[in-house]
């Protein structure tokens, strides 16, 4: 097939595509990708596909959508026809929510996800469909992608033919304000940081942070003892106009963050794990993939029951690698971990829904709102994965007197087969257990199942305890919480009165069983006044602090869908924020875990 995509109208939120597909006469079904790898759900944006016109030998053919499968189009190819031409438009009008189907363009940049602009013949494995891609970009825009450029003619950039799988796995980032920087030039294969932003000043990453990204490249080599790509591109979108998420690919990652992330210390800290996380997926998720997610096509439903490995282990490693690479300090990692552990510990939904169910039901959970999230439990296998895999890591260290660690498991599990081109090596639960047993014999199956099926009211904190720390609460925010307050003006009163509040007083969630729950506060309500004065986060914080040691309730005026209510909140335990406190006389495994595995090369 040939696929030519015209991105010049991306600032107007419309993308034009043209396909030529080799065909045989007779009935033909064309499919639009439905289950998108890495999104773990049927998220193909079929609703924004428009302008589908099919022609052959200059004649327009009529197509019919399948009555059941909305992602399938039927057409009859006339006798004597060997090439079908398809024109289609993708309406890039989605709001900035969700994954790649969310907002992906602005006046200055665009991310092209090829799955959004392609139809392909049913009945052939996508790995066996060869596509010759080309793009036309707005004048003066540059681009980054893992695809290989072969030529340029009339403003159209041509790429080497690839399988449909690899095309969909190779998004293209383009923009007016664009910069490509090689990372760790001492390492083969080559790595690049590609950035597109809404302003030229957003690209001014500090030399120290750039050095940290180069260190990340070296640290992954030391940890995974392999690479499974020909080259790697971090495609970073710095924009407040697009969805914010990361999406992994074999040879690149689609990393979308707030516009000022690379020039603002708070935002940089808050997204410290993003690049290490998505990069780790090249090994854990793309190369090693749970068998249920390795469908090999875009039509069959995916089975998410091992996402606590695919995402949970990656979440743990993304944060550990951020510290090892100096993207964040060890102290910043500990404050992140304290917040993560405390959030999971105050999660009453764990009494009705086990961690396994959050993975099994993943396809229904990614788009859920924050409201009552602590009772629903959302994709908790990410944040709780940090705790479970820290538990695994520190248990190996304890069992082997610190001779072995999760690093040994990863070298074998992710490095299986040494360096390879991109490919998928599927695994099952038993392969994970066998891999851990190869490092140190233990009842790993029961260890994991216990944590996956527990309905205990508290989080599994064995990992923090094994590593020599205890979770405590003080009246001072830790650095991670403070960075959130600084960056977004939010007021985290989660561990005190049991609410998270936005800068405008809007309550995003209420902790079930908390003082706020008892006085019937709810998500979506807005705090108008605190003790008679117009709401600010600081006023609420001061009121919680001052209510400690006296008996007067904190008075709130709260608006709820046009109705106002005065509430007396009887809470007197003061401000409470999580911290990790060192337990004297125990080994500090966390310190060991966060130590870099590599030195900087000489002369750098």
DSSP 467: T
User: Which positions from 270 through 329 interact with Zn ion, judged by CB under 5 A?
Assistant: 311
Instruction: Tell me how far, at minimum, the Cβ of 284 lies from Zn ion, in Å.
Output: 9
Residue located via tokens 């998505």: 278
d(CA 222, CA 226): 8
d(CA 560, CA 347): 25
Q: Check: CB of residue 485 under 8 Å from CB of residue 492.
A: yes
Instruction: Tell me how far, at minimum, the Cβ of 285 lies from Zn ion, in Å.
Output: 7
User: Which positions from 506 through 525 interact with Zn ion, judged by CB under 5 A?
Assistant: none
Asked if the bond preceding 189 is cis, omega within 30° of 0, the reply is yes
Q: One symbol per residue from 335 to 374: x for binding Zn ion (CB under 5 A), - otherwise; what is it?
A: ----------------------------------------
Comparing CB distances to Zn ion, the nearer of 311 and 357 is: 311
Comparing CB distances to Zn ion, the nearer of 311 and 354 is: 311
Instruction: Tell me how far, at minimum, the Cβ of 198 lies from Zn ion, in Å.
Output: 25
What length does the chain have?
604
3-state secondary structure 558-579: EEECCEEEEEEECCCCCCCEEE
Instruction: Tell me how far, at minimum, the Cβ of 307 lies from Zn ion, in Å.
Output: 9
Comparing CB distances to Zn ion, the nearer of 138 and 383 is: 383
Comparing CB distances to Zn ion, the nearer of 176 and 281 is: 281
Comparing CB distances to Zn ion, the nearer of 194 and 311 is: 311
Comparing CB distances to Zn ion, the nearer of 327 and 499 is: 327
DSSP 348: G
Instruction: Tell me how far, at minimum, the Cβ of 366 lies from Zn ion, in Å.
Output: 11
Comparing CB distances to Zn ion, the nearer of 191 and 286 is: 286
Instruction: Tell me how far, at minimum, the Cβ of 313 lies from Zn ion, in Å.
Output: 10
Comparing CB distances to Zn ion, the nearer of 311 and 386 is: 311
Reduced to 3 states (helix: H, G, I; strand: E, B; else coil), residue 267 is helix
Instruction: Tell me how far, at minimum, the Cβ of 202 lies from Zn ion, in Å.
Output: 24
Comparing CB distances to Zn ion, the nearer of 226 and 280 is: 280
Comparing CB distances to Zn ion, the nearer of 275 and 580 is: 275
Instruction: Tell me how far, at minimum, the Cβ of 380 lies from Zn ion, in Å.
Output: 14
Mode of pairing for the β-strands spanning 231-238 and 190-197? parallel
Query: DSSP letter string over 26-46?
Result: EEEEEE---SBTTTTB----G
CB neighbour list of residue 47: distance below 8 Å, 6 or more residues apart: none
Query: DSSP letter string over 377-428?
Result: --STTTHHHHHHHHHHHHHHHHHTTTS--HHHHHHHHTSTTSS-SS--EEE-
Q: Check: CB of residue 469 under 8 Å from CB of residue 346.
A: no
Q: By CB neighbour count within 10 A (0-12 exposed, 13-18 middle, 19+ buried), where does 242 fall?
A: buried
Question: CA 317 → CA 47, 286, 323, 492, 591, distances in Å?
Answer: 36, 15, 10, 26, 15
Question: CA 356 → CA 373, 391, 393, 454, distances in Å?
Answer: 17, 17, 20, 9
431 phi and psi, to 5 degrees? -65, -35
Instruction: Tell me how far, at minimum, the Cβ of 289 lies from Zn ion, in Å.
Output: 12
d(CA 99, CA 167): 18
Instruction: Tell me how far, at minimum, the Cβ of 559 lies from Zn ion, in Å.
Output: 37
Comparing CB distances to Zn ion, the nearer of 311 and 431 is: 311
Q: By CB neighbour count within 10 A (0-12 exposed, 13-18 middle, 19+ buried), where does 573 fall?
A: middle
CB neighbour list of residue 428: distance below 8 Å, 6 or more residues apart: 290, 291, 306
Q: By CB neighbour count within 10 A (0-12 exposed, 13-18 middle, 19+ buried), where does 83 fall?
A: middle
Instruction: Tell me how far, at minimum, the Cβ of 382 lies from Zn ion, in Å.
Output: 7
CB neighbour list of residue 172: distance below 8 Å, 6 or more residues apart: 111, 112, 114, 135, 143, 144, 145, 147, 235
Comparing CB distances to Zn ion, the nearer of 254 and 311 is: 311
Comparing CB distances to Zn ion, the nearer of 311 and 335 is: 311
Instruction: Tell me how far, at minimum, the Cβ of 310 lies from Zn ion, in Å.
Output: 7
Q: Which residue is nearest to Zn ion (CB)?
A: 311
Comparing CB distances to Zn ion, the nearer of 311 and 391 is: 311
Instruction: Tell me how far, at minimum, the Cβ of 450 lies from Zn ion, in Å.
Output: 24
Comparing CB distances to Zn ion, the nearer of 275 and 499 is: 275
Q: By CB neighbour count within 10 A (0-12 exposed, 13-18 middle, 19+ buried), where does 397 fall?
A: buried
Question: CA 431 → CA 2, 427, 428, 537, distances in Å?
Answer: 40, 6, 5, 49
Tell me the number of residues near Zn ion by CB under 5 A.
1
Instruction: Tell me how far, at minimum, the Cβ of 104 lies from Zn ion, in Å.
Output: 18
Instruction: Tell me how far, at minimum, the Cβ of 125 lies from Zn ion, in Å.
Output: 25
User: Which positions from 157 through 176 interact with Zn ion, judged by CB under 5 A?
Assistant: none
Instruction: List residues binding Zn ion (CB under 5 A).
Output: 311
């Amino acid at each position: 097939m040939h696929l030519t995509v015209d991105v010049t109208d991306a600032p107007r939120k419309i993308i034009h595509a043209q396909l030529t597909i080799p065909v045989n006469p007779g009935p033909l079904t064309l499919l639009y990708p439905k289950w998108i790898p890495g999104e773990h759900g049927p998220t193909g944006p079929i609703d924004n596909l428009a302008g589908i016109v099919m022609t052959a030998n200059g004649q327009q053919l009529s197509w019919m959508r399948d009555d059941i499968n909305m992602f399938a189009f039927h057409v009859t190819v006339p006798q004597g026809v060997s090439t079908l031409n398809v024109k289609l438009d993708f309406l890039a009008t989605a709001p900035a929510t969700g994954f790649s189907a969310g907002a992906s363009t602005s006046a200055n940049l665009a991310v092209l996800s090829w799955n959004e602009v392609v139809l392909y013949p049913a009945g052939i494995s996508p790995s066996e469909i060869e596509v010759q891609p080309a793009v036309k970009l707005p004048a003066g825009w540059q681009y980054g992608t893992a695809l290989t450029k072969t030529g340029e003619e009339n403003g159209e950039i041509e790429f080497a033919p690839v399988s449909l799988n690899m095309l969909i796995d190779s998004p293209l980032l383009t923009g007016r304000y664009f910069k490509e920087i090689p990372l760790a030039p001492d390492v083969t294969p080559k790595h690049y940081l590609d950035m597109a932003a809404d302003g030229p000043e957003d690209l001014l990453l500090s030399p120290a942070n750039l050095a940290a990204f180069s260190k990340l490249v070296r640290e992954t080599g030391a940890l995974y003892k392999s690479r499974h790509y020909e080259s790697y591109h971090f495609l970073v979108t710095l924009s407040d106009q697009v969805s914010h998420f990361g999406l992994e690919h074999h040879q690149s990652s689609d990393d979308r963050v707030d516009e000022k992330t690379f020039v603002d210390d708070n935002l940089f800290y808050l997204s410290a794990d993003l690049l290490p996380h998505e990069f780790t997926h090249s090994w854990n998720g793309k190369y090693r993939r749970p068998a249920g997610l390795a469908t090999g096509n875009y039509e069959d439903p995916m089975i998410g029951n091992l996402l606590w490995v695919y995402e949970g282990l990656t979440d743990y490693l993304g944060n550990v690698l951020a510290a090892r690479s100096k993207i964040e300090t060890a102290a910043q990692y500990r404050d992140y971990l304290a917040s993560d552990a405390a959030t999971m510990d105050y999660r009453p939904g764990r009494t009705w829904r086990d961690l396994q169910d959050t993975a099994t039901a993943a396809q229904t959970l990614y788009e859920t709102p924050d409201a009552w999230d602590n009772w629903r439990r959302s994709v908790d296998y990410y944040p709780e994965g940090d705790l479970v895999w820290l538990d695994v890591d520190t248990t190996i260290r304890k069992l082997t007197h610190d001779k072995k660690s999760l690093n040994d498991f990863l070298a074998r599990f992710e490095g299986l087969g040494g360096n390879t081109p991109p490919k998928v090596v599927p695994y099952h639960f038993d392969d994970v257990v066998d891999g851990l047993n190869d490092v140190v014999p233990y009842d790993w199956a029961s260890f994991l199942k216990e944590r996956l099926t527990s309905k205990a009211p508290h989080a599994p904190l064995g990992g923090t305890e094994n590593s020599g720390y205890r979770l405590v609460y003080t009246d001072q925010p830790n650095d991670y919480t403070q960075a959130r307050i600084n960056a977004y003006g939010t007021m985290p009163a989660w561990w005190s009165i049991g609410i998270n509040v936005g800068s405008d007083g809007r309550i995003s969630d209420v902790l079930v069983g908390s003082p706020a729950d008892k006085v019937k506060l709810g998500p979506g309500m807005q705090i108008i006044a605190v003790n008679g004065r117009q709401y600010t986060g600081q006023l609420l914080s001061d009121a919680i602090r001052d209510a400690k040691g006296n008996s007067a309730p904190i008075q709130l005026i709260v608006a709820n869908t046009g109705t106002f209510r005065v509430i007396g909140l009887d809470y007197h335990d003061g401000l409470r924020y999580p911290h990790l406190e060192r337990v004297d006389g125990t080994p500090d495994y966390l310190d060991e875990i966060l130590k870099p595995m590599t030195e900087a090369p000489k002369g750098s």
